[in-house]
Structure formats: structure tokens, C-alpha cells
Amino acid sequence: MSGERIEFPRTRGNLIVISGPSGSGKNSVLARVRQGVPNLTYSVSATTRAPREGELEGVHYFFVKHDEFVSRMEAGDFLETAEFCGNYYGTPRSLVERSLSAGDDVIMDIEIRGADQVRAAMPGAVFIFLVPPSYAELRARIERRGSESPEAVERRLAKAVEEIPAVFRYDYVVMNYDLGQAVDQIRSIILAERARVSRCDCGSFVRRFAPESPN
Ligand code: 5GP
């Protein structure tokens, strides 16, 4: 065995949506999940928010001006959009479509209202909600990040509390108490979804096992 992962052929990739309140640790979890799962494309969002230290154009986000965002939104370039804490965020449609058609899974990190739009537009998408272990830990994480003003920290905390009940609209919930465990769990979900009979091209497989016609 070469160790190469052989998976059942699929005609289309799965769309995996991860949401979770600010401070749930989505970025760290996703960075690790992406390293550990082959054939997984990360959907880079567009945002009007200013880059944080270390964030790179086209890697973490496409950083765009408000006017550009609005004209692209009006042109239908985005699969979904949302305003979050005073900034706009949107998922460019083209990369998602291209990757899914090529049979790759696409993973996106979007907030709950954007996820609602994807749920309506993309049947079959898989929705995972990542939660912090407690309110105290959530506050500690947002403060530790140190990238926001005290007012912005409070705004994000209030938003997080408001978002938690959205968990009921998701397919899976993962608690990020331990980073490694959360990563393993999400990785398992992605791989299990790939093995769903309804997503695999089982017809051609079954035909391969048909008894040969006597002659
Ligand atoms: P941050 O400013 O901390 O990077 O992201 C703020 C929130 O926006 C997070 O909850 C993140 O999941 C969400 N977000 C990032 N990109 C998108 C997007 O393209 N669409 C939507 N709806 N939310 C996004």
C-alpha cells in the first residue's frame, strides 16, 4: 500500500460550510483541517474589512473597497453576502462552482446569515457549527487576539452570544475545547460525507460486478 488515499469516484464535490462565533477558533481549526484533507479547496471571501496584521491578499481574504463590493454584489458575483460588525463579506461564486464541478470539496468559513443563504441556494451542502467551550473562554480568546479595540471586542462578544442559538440550523456541532480534537472531528465529518452512497457514482461500480453474460 502506497498510503495514497483512494476514494470512491464522485461526479461533484461537497460544499462544507463552517460557522461559529468570533473567537470559536475557526481560523486555527480550518488551517489544520486544510492541511490534513486532500482535494479540499478553501473558498477565499471578499471583505471590506481592513487586513489584520499578517493577513494576505488572496490568501485570507480579497480585500476590496466598499464600492467594488457593492458593484460585484449587484452583478451577482457572490454566492452569498452579509454585513458583519460594520463590514461586508461575500463568497465569490466562480471558484466554488469550478472546484465543485472538478470533484473537489469546497470549505468555507462564513457567518450564520450567509450560511442561511447557502442553505437555500445549495442543496446537499454540509453545515458545521464550531463552538467555544464557554463564555469565559470565548471572551479570553477574543481579547487574547488583541486585534480589536475594546469596543470592537464587546461588539464581537455580543454578536457571538446572539449567534449561538443558530446551532439548531446546522448538521453538525463541534466544540473547540482542544484544537487537535476539533480538527479530527471536522476531518472525520468531511471524509464521512464523501462516502455517502447518494454522493458517489455507484452505478458504474455496480455494473463492474455484474456477472458476465454466458456465451
Ligand atoms: P473576521 O472579520 O473575524 O475575519 O470575520 C468575521 C465573520 O465573518 C466571521 O464569522 C466569518 O466567518 C465571517 N465571514 C468571513 N467571510 C465571509 C463570507 O464570505 N460571507 C459571510 N457571510 N461571512 C463571512
The pLDDT value recorded for residue 215 is 47
Cβ within 8 Å of residue 127, ≥6 positions away: 17, 19, 115, 119, 169, 170, 171, 172
Query: Ligand 1 centre and the CA of 199: distance in Å?
Result: 28
Largest CA distance in the chain: 81
Pocket test for ligand 1, best of 47, 49, 116 (most atoms within 8 A of CB): 47
Q: In what order do the strands lie in the sheet with 87-92?
A: 61-63, 45-47, 87-92, 78-84
The pLDDT value recorded for residue 3 is 63
The DSSP call for residue 57 is B
Contact 39, 187 (CB under 8 A): no
Of the candidates 21, 49, 51, which has an alpha carbon nearest to the alpha carbon of residue 176? Answer: 21
- Integer-rounded Cα radius of gyration of the chain: 19
Torsion of CA 185, 126, 26, 103, to 10 degrees: 90
- Residue 129's DSSP bridge partners are 19, 173
The two counts, helices (H) then strands (E), for the chain are 8, 9
The pLDDT value recorded for residue 149 is 84
Closest approach atom of ligand 1 to CA 20: 10
Domain 15-196: CATH class, spelled out: alpha beta
Closest approach atom of ligand 1 to CA 45: 19
The three grid cell numbers given for residue 68, joined into one nine-digit string: 467594488
Contact 80, 118 (CB under 8 A): yes
Place of cell 471572551: 139
Pocket test for ligand 1, best of 45, 55, 117 (most atoms within 8 A of CB): 45
Q: For 69-86, write each residue's pLDDT tens digit.
A: 999 999 999 999 999 989
pLDDT by 10s per residue, the chain, length 215: 556 778 888 889 999 999 999 889 999 999 999 998 999 999 999 999 999 989 999 999 999 999 999 999 999 999 999 999 899 999 999 999 999 999 999 999 999 999 999 999 999 999 999 999 999 999 898 888 777 788 888 888 998 999 999 999 999 999 999 999 999 999 999 999 999 999 998 988 899 888 875 54
